[in-house]
Structure 1
Amino acid sequence: MKLVDKFTLWFIGVIVVTTPITSYICLNNIEKKIDDVEIARLKAVNRKAAGRMTNGTSVNIPRDASFTTFTLLSALPADSFRVQKEADPDGNHKSLESRLTVSSFLTIAGKPYEVTTSSYVPASRQILNAILDTVAWKLVLIIICVAVSARFLSQRILHTLRLTMKKIHSFDLKKKITFPQTNTEEFKELNTFLKKMTDKAVEEYTAVKQFSENASHELQTPLAVLRGKLELLSESNIDECQASLIGDMHHAIEKLSKINRSLILLSKMENNEFAVTEHIKFCRVAKDVLAAYEDRLEMKNIEVKRELDKNILLKIHPVLADMLMNNLLGNAIRHNVQDGMVHVILKQQKLIIKNTGLPPETPTEELFERFRKSNQCSDSVGLGLSIVKQICEVCDFKVSYKYKAPLHILQVDFCPDSVINEAEQDKFETMEAVPV
């Protein structure tokens, strides 16, 4: 939910909660004011009637009173008047008026009298209905005004915040960004903080990138020297024991070189250096990788089963696509057994590679961690599945690893947004067929 919608709902909620309270207070105030005015008027009527009786003139019932009575008393009470209000004078429970009776205690011609006059005022129900009608219209107008004005203010006040969010979404570690100017103090503080944070991130990324590139370059030089020296040494007169030691050293150097390349690759993927701008035919990549591994498959006499759908178009960097298939297939061959089996399944929404092999001694979900190896192959550096997982995270794919004896099952579920549908495939193939 958007910020402006939350503010709007909160403001409307406050109004809805406070309206019944204010309506009740308004009802009591209006009813009290009407009663006070009518009581004062009826008191005046009583005094006027008592004055006419004192002067000996005829006492006429005023037009604004229902009736006026005179009652002779033995003595005047302590109070000068008494008020009585009947909410339902007719007893039908549907009356829209209440009867208000005011009794004044006065001395007329030297005798104590109770002068009583009655009148009718609007009942509480009638006043409440009028207030409810007014409140209903008021709520409707307030909700409309709040909704319209909130959208207008959102366009004006929150425009800078939307621009800032757009800048953050498009943030690239390779270059610094500039945030929009604003005169709102809170947005100024936010933009200043974000500017410092993003600039620092860019600077640290640049430093780490330069360090990793320099370290990789510097490591390759002594590794190449060691490799060359070992080759020269292997061509000299050496015995069998020395040849074995030289072979172990050469193997260790190759493994170190492979670890170095893999770590640099992981670092590049974590820094999002493989931008994806177009779709590629992943089915073609799978076929090429399978063809490249034919020799290794024949060496271990591994049977290959293929279920490759055509026209599988994925939004993935070509280098990452090649590395994904190479690591998955290479892993299936490396950890396979002699005379084993590899089953490659490529569908519109997923890639599944099944292979025979020894049961894993390590939980399969832990094998995606760096330098975690199972028991099948000691030559592995423990980074193959880490690279697969990192590629899947970059491309928003989901990867899973299960073992169901005797098969190891690695499955990659493609993101729906990265797969082209049939209509888009026809368009893609048409564009691909047009000569440039």
Structure 2
Amino acid sequence: MADDCDVLVIGAGIVGLSTAYALTRAAPGTRVLVLEKEPGPAQHQTGRNSGVIHSGLYYRPGSFKARFAVQGAAEMVGFCAEHGLPHAVTGKIVVATERDELPRLHALAQRGRENGIPVRELGPAQITAYEPHVRGLAALHVPTTGVCDFRAVARRLAELARDAGAEVRYDAEVRVIARRPDPGPSRTPGAPGTSGVAVRTAAGDVVRARALVNCAGLHSDRVARLAGDRPGLRIVPFRGEYYELAPHAAGLVRGLVYPIPDPAFPFLGVHLTRGIDGAVHLGPNAVPALAREGYSRTSLSPRDAAAAFTYPGSWRIARRHWRYGAGELRRSFSRRAFTAAVRRLLPAVEEEDLRPAQAGVRAQAVLPDGSLVDDFRFAAGPRTIHVLNAPSPAATASLPIGREIARRVLDTL
């Protein structure tokens, strides 16, 4: 039967939409269809983060994260400027508040230089020149960090992809994926007998495509298994909890202020972010979520909770990092404890200055041995490309990530 499209993209977050946009630019005339289960784009990870355009400071030199974040940060600023989207290049400071953090600060400065990022080391007086109310022993200033509205970026990518001939369908959850047999010799190396894929949505619609790209984020491992591929990992959701400074206290923070991160975790710790809307967000505090779309403490999906609790990797994380996790849980249930974490950087803040803000959920890929997948991860099957780990800084890096995925899927065609 005839194909409905050449490339079917599952997921209309910023990575899926960037992929659709990149496909229309790299191969004009390619028939691209995006299916999204929500009523609009960017409903989950893309639209529920702090809006930071990351510089690429933290990531291992040579990794996908390092290369794509450095390149993507510059491209994201240019994209926002070209399309009139709200953004600002504010710079940020990364602050050491304890003596044992100073070696890690110097190592971070070296890593930034290896990644081609301009960094400047600051003393206490120089810290207050940038942020008068922040205190620390030393800091790094990173001028290429900024903020934007990633929801607006995603909407614009959807518009551009549509203008170039792609189709984006909302309220179209994929329930079944099947590979279609090829009556003749296969042109896909390593995939004899496969001519494409067919999917069925929750509404019963069937879509046939020559190739499929899985950008399902929080559900990417499940989509890979639906396609008959083995992802070799599981998505374990972590809820990122934020507070916001009350208007009378928002003047305590001018821009972006980060602590020295723990190198054992992909989380950056509780930081201070003045967003593009002028509000100052504090967080995130990272705790296990009982639902992949669990944005509150009471959110519970029996299926998601069972998947996490029966996965060996989850228990191995807990055994290995229980002290770190206990601190995160304490800050989750105690505003006083959360305030204490903020006061390490911003001593002038008071508990009553904090207001609860929108939470997010990080789609963290975890290996069976309990290792947290640190880099972006892609996998391929017959006529399929799976994006299996793309949390922060994926929004920053979405334009080069989209081109990379487009290149891979076009190679399969």
- Considering the TM-score relative to the shorter chain, is it more than 0.5? no
What range describes the TM-score normalised by the shorter chain of this pair? under 0.3
Q: Could you state the TM-score of these two structures normalised by the residue count of structure 2?
A: 0.22
Higher strand share goes to which structure? 2
Q: Could you state the TM-score of these two structures normalised by the residue count of structure 1?
A: 0.21
Higher helix share goes to which structure? 1
Structure whose alpha-carbon radius of gyration is higher: 1
